[in-house]
Homo-oligomer: A and B are copies of this chain.
Amino acid sequence: MSDSPATRRSLEVALGERSYPIHIGPGLIGDPAWLTPHLAGRQVMIVTNETVAPHYLARLREGLPGELTVHELILPDGEATKTLASVTRIWDALLEAGFNRRCTLVALGGGVIGDMTGFAAACYQRGVAFVQVPTTLLAQVDSSVGGKTGVNHPLGKNMIGAFWQPRAVLIDTDTLRTLPERELSAGLAEVIKYGLIRDAAFLDWLEAELPALRRLEPAALTRAIERSCELKAEIVAADETEQGVRALLNLGHTFGHAIEAHQGYGNWLHGEAIGAGMAMAAELSRRLGWLSAAEVERTATILAAAGLPLAAPADMGVDDFLALMRLDKKNVDDRLRLILLETLGRAVIHDKTPRAQLEELLASFPRR
């Protein structure tokens, strides 16, 4: 890949005084021109994990001006580490290093690192600056954009957290070259989601380009990431704290979160669970009379082309789903709210699914 500036793209997440840029392209990590303008103060803490550090930590540090105080914290990898205890390690490290309010946390890693580092920044001395440097496709198109931060609790995913916007998101597409294929597929689930909920033309484009994306062809990758970030930024700008339209981003998530919680976080990748959840949401949308059988089939074909599972876990019964769906944050006063599809490219918030119809879907949906 070239690191010519011509291959780089930038967009803005418009949130008034909390607006920030997203820069996308190869070779960003280690280029001082991209990170340095977004640092507050002179103290920088890079938070990363044991998988990512060997590939990118040294390069990131090399790109920082020598007059800065730079510390690093390398956490274990995996969704199971997304806990308050890990965030406490970040706070301890900041305090032991004497970091003040004018410091910057840099999240170098996937969604787990980004969510924990963002939450640590949100609550350290009541809020300090942070920059996202996402290194997985999932984090690049989803979790690094929009300001949702937090950790899991034994009783639910992302139950403890804050809305806290980064100063900038720097997406170095070169990092996808070290990403396992399974994680690439998981990231594509969220890319497909944007097409399903909001952009039928993008879905058409994806249908044709999925093979190129899985081969990591640079032009296709940049386009897919850019359009995904644009669509997410539009929705976040319209509804920063998820009072309304932002809930559409949760297509497949009520089912998907139940799968993740049941299987143990990390055994199914988030994107895999969301992929299966979107297939379930599409099928329920058909049963409610909105999608045709052909559209459900097309959705399944696209998800399969991305390498995603189309079935729920074999050991998950109807009651498992129902119990785990109760605590979902999208539930308001115990009515079940689902994100469903009116058509491919248009999602709706629906809270009138008859309980019996939901249970029929859960009982009959394929297992693997």
Contact = CB atoms under 8 A, between A and B. Distances in A.
A52 to B, nearest CB: 25
Contacts of A96: 155
A125 to B, nearest CB: 5
Given A91-B159, A95-B156, A155-B95, A329 B101 contact: yes
A213 to B, nearest CB: 31
Given A88-B84, A162-B162, A102 B332 contact: yes
B329 A100 contact: yes
B162 A126 contact: yes
B159 A100 contact: no
Contacts of A86: none
A95 B153 contact: yes
Which one of A41, A100, A156, A163 has the highest number of Cβ atoms from chain B below 10 Å of its Cβ? A100
Identical subunits present: 2
Contacts of A98: 326-327
B156 A100 contact: no
A81 interface: no
A127 interface: yes
A31 to B, nearest CB: 25
A125 B123 CA distance: 14
Interface string A136-169: 0000000000001110010110111111000000
Contact of A150 (B126, B158, B161, B334): B126
Contact of A163 (B119, B127, B333): B127
Contacts of A101: 329, 332
Interface of A: 41-42, 84, 88, 91-92, 95-96, 98, 100-102, 119, 122-127, 148-150, 153, 155-156, 158-163, 241-242, 326-327, 329, 331-334
